Amino acid sequence: MGSRGVAFFADNELRPGAALELSISWPALLDQTCPIRLVVFGRVLRGAGRAAVCTVNKHEFRTARASRADAWVHPNSMLDRWAGALGT
pLDDT in tens, 62-78: 997 654 444 444 555 66
- Structural contact between residues 61 and 23, judged by C-beta atoms closer than 8 angstroms: no
- Structural contact between residues 38 and 26, judged by C-beta atoms closer than 8 angstroms: yes
Q: What is the DSSP letter of 57?
A: S
How many whole angstroms separate alpha carbon 55 and alpha carbon 38? Answer: 14
* pLDDT at residue 86 in the model: 65
pTM for the whole thing? 0.70
- CB-count exposure of residue 14 (10 Å: 0-12, 13-18, 19+): buried
Range of the domain at 28: 5-72
| Number of structural domains in the chain | 1
For residue 85, pLDDT over 90 is answered with: no
For residue 7, pLDDT over 90 is answered with: yes
How many whole angstroms separate alpha carbon 45 and alpha carbon 79? Answer: 17
Asked if residue 79 belongs to a domain, the reply is: no
Asked if residue 86 belongs to a domain, the reply is: no
